Structure 1
Amino acid sequence: MKPMLPSLTFDLPIRPDWLYEVKYDGFRALLEWNSKGITLTSRNGKELFPQFPEIKEFLFQYEEKLKPFLPLQLDGELVFLENTHKANFSAIQVRGRMKSEKKIIEQATHSPCRLMVFDLLMLKGKPLYSLDFHKRKAELGKLLQTLEFHLDPDPYDDQLIQYVKANEDFNDLWEKVVLYDGEGIIAKSKNSLWEEGKRSLQWLKYKNWKYVSCFITSFEKTNGYFYVGVYKNKEILPIGQVLFGFKPEEKNALKQTIKQNMTSEDAQFIYVEPAICLEVKYLELYDRQLREPHFDRFRFDLEPAQCTYDLFMFAQKNLPSDLEITHPDKPLWENLSIQKADYILYLREISPYMLPFLKNRLLTVIRYPHGMFGEAFYQKNCPDYAPKFVETQPSDGIDYILCNNLKTLVWLGNQLAIEFHVPFQTINSNGPSEIVFDLDPPSKDAFQLAVKAALLIKEVLDQLNLIAFIKTSGNKGLQLYLPLPENVFSYDDTRLFTSFIAEYLISKDPDSFTIERMKKNRRNRLYVDYVQHSEGKTIVAPYSMRGNEHAGVATPLYWEEVNEKLERVSFNMENALKRIRSQGDPFQNYFQTKQIQAFAPVLDILKQGKKG
């Protein structure tokens, strides 16, 4: 059975009565389960279970629950899920080529792939092809809910069959696809029928192209391909070849120019010196070649020397194309090989996880215009030269920046804003959006005092049925967060709680903890600063870097990591991204927790105790 296919479009597919799904990049797969057994078939008719046994094993766990719905047929994409909006094309290709059964089983166990299901074609033996798409989608959602499957994609969930949501707002979904560097969007008419083997105009694929400025190095006479490259350390680096996207007259003119200016020729190629610059759009770099390259436009305004590997790498990470990155090779740390380009790329990749904690909060940054080699300064006021896309919010005579999008974050990174500090509430909050305990030990060597305090607080919170998240400060301590529902509690309310916790810590271990504000009277004890949690005060944002010697990052942790083995210097720019890729984001459920945080009953008890 051949699947229905979408048509490629370069025009925004925003239309009335259309729905929008994330386009995951993998192997299109039809799952069928009937009296003869279960199959997972590619669009070319290849059986996929031998290469991906984990999907079959997962389904068999639900055999009894699924029996009432058989025969069953699902349409989806088999992927290696990298994040909620992106699949790793290279990884699924590697899995698809594996021959060794031992290696396949090893990968299936440790790095399982997932079937992202977006359509229901048969249920209880009844074909659903003639149902409108939105009705099939509703039936699919009901089926997965009956099986008690989660309906949100999650690369760290043990659930290997995952649901692809249909969204009504294209722009909202597109913003997330760009943020997470996904492949694109599939737009589908609500009323489209499922038509076997047809490439339909009722389904459209709109891709998240990257753009690279490059130059032509040769022309292949046998097939009409133009080979392109960029300069890396003054050497030409080939990056692929392009055929599509040219108008006939553009292609003919280009061929003539190449022939007239060739440096040499053989049976297959005509070679030229770098001179003709192009902008090429592509999906990603795969096997050191541009994947799905399309000519976009000539760049007569560029010299070949401006087509560099560094700019190509920025294009690879889908940085905003109209944002100039200045001095990318500028060194930022004295004893670490971190250049400005590395820092900008860190911000780009961490942005999906960091931006939610910056959104709609009055931002204070610490800028290091000369890296760690010069003086730093605090910046609250938005500078006059800020681009128009930077949102601001006036407060107490200061025009604060709101870092609400990727473009603003990257712009701030280019300004060498290294530390991002935010208040405990958003601009829409009447009171605190969370409680934060800043566990700051007296010295770097006393980090374990912060660990001890965090674990003691966690014991109390568990008894009170309160949910807490924890991160390193990126410097010498730990910071413990309790998300709160918006516009429910005041700072006076939270002060009752923070002072209660402070007193508890001191009662448990007065030799380790103190609320003494005078430093000279603290004597190597950890200062429990419950006063710090108040209006106008700030805390370093999750995943912000710090301007210290080890390039620390304020890194979210899992609670099981908080023990005597925890070391503060382990969390830096180099491994923050590695952690997310291998372990996920410990703060992933932070905002959902706000709705279920049972803080009100605890507060009631504290208020009664105060009256008594």
Structure 2
Amino acid sequence: MAARASSSVPGWVEPMLAKADGGRLREGPEWAYEYKLDGYRACMQIAGDGTTVLTSRNGIDFTHEFADLAGVLAPALHGRAAVLDGEIVVYNDAGQIDFGLLQERRGRYQTHRSSPRRTEPFHDVPVRFLAFDLLQLGTTSLLREPYEERRALLAGLAMPDPFRISVVRQFTFTELAADRRTPQDLLDHVAATGHEGLVAKLLRAPYVPGKRPDYWCKHALIQTTEVIICGWRPGQSRLSGSLGGLLLGGHDPDTGELIYIGDVGTGFTEAERGRLLTRLEAIERRKHPFAVTPPREDTVRAHWVRPELVGEVVYRQFTRGAGRLRHTAWRGLREDREPADILAPRARERVAAEAAPTPPVGPKITVQAGSRRLKLSNLDKPLYPDGFTKGEVINYYSRIAEVLLPHLADRPVTFIRFPDGVGGQQFFEKNVPNGAPGWLPTVRLPSSGSRSGRGENEIEYALLDELAALVWAANMAALELHVPQWRVDAGGQRLPPDLLVFDLDPGPGTSIVQCCRVAERLRDVLLGDGLTPFPKTSGSKGMQLYAAIDTDDPTAPSTYAKKLAQQLARETPDSVTAVMAKNQRTNRIFIDWSQNNPAKTTIAPYSLRGRDHPTVSTPLTWDEVEACRHVTQLVFTADDVLDRVDDHGDLLLNLPEKRTPLPSR
């Protein structure tokens, strides 16, 4: 055992960086592979007496922010000093590293840092240090030692608390070959388990602080880049008074000038929009900070700021001509990066972009959908910021049709269309659009403001009753399908309501977790009244409860639902409101009873939503509702829902069989 080290903390080692591999994963017996991590790069410096300092990749002291990690490795060092390179991460309830949760934790820390609670441990968002290199042990520097020897020494340290610190798993090329596996097999596994990619590391390589040599090569499965926030746009419509989007910059790698590289308007939580707006308003400036004035059409309504904040975005493409990021989504601030270090993406991603260009928009094709033949177009067009295409939307609706169509049967459909994709212009469409196929069934009904039975105040709604109708709707980018709580008969007459719905909408400071607690209370009351409630997510932030009912009075469901909502609000006024006013919703769940108004519609079960990712309004079990303790537990994408239906079928299948006369209250 080495002699006991001094109690002084070892100095910070500027991290060695990985170089993009240009789309070609390195192979051969001289290489080993580690997971590409999605957190904050950190140097852990430990003195002989266990005193620990955490330093970010650009030299910022992280120790107070991540106080839970201080001293965690000291028992394994037996009085020796050490310096480790690694990543601070947060795991979600699905066991995946979640950068969004880490950002959420940071936002809370920043909010409270000036208060006496600045060292609050945030027990509900625990952090973990994943070590992948050992740079010093005792008084001996290991920087000149080969990676495989540094790694062996690191693996020899007994991790005293694996919940707070562990060693990133390593796979050598030789070990993979012995298992009859290839690096590509490993990459496929990495993609399936939700990791960002792989880093290939040369076994014989030394550690070169602050450099980006060919010794470490990163193979990313998603494209991310760091950007400088140079301006912002105010939000419109539902985002009025908040942050709408950010205008982004980076330094030209040849001249060093700050240049405009595009914008980002999706991927923000409401809380993050508020925090960002507060910080941006404090650093506003009158003129843009770029060396060349950006195009006028890109800077309408822009507010400029000093280029002091660095963030990270996901993107699908970087155009080589105009030099713009396309199909972006926000990932979060990078407090560990300096604006001076941020280069425009083309300098680092040119090889990767040339190796895997974005596919061109495809021509029209003819497909068979049931007994119909339809022409589809632009299947490669991304409709979601994460790259989910129109073709994938059509594929989802085709595969989910068997369980979705019964919930649409005989219900007039209101579409929300996104012809330019999520983030572009969207619009509600009740009337069947021009060019709809002649075989599509429709029904003409008075508009909600009409007092006459027929005429100019009528709306001609589509009825989606077969696979081909779903495919037609998806082809016109109708991502969201909304339906009322009543049906029409064969003659096109409106029938009495057959569904009761409670829409649980989380206000600021709450989430679907609190919705679940309110849903449990509603369930108990509904069961006591003889009704059988079925839960589902909204596919956005909230959830709904359905119960099948019999009633001859179109107004009765709203009356019943309002009384029940008001009852819960009286019982717990601090956590529930039955009032629609936004100023009443902070830290409360709004029980929207008005969804039972015959003029209102609700997102259909299994419908996609127009959000940052292709999330779905998903039927749930009550066990899932009761077990929900984190928002990520009840977020389901199109792929998730297809798997759920394969495993469980339609969880709303028995809803019609549970129809019961609507009680009075």
Q: What TM-score comes out, normalization by structure 2 length?
A: 0.41
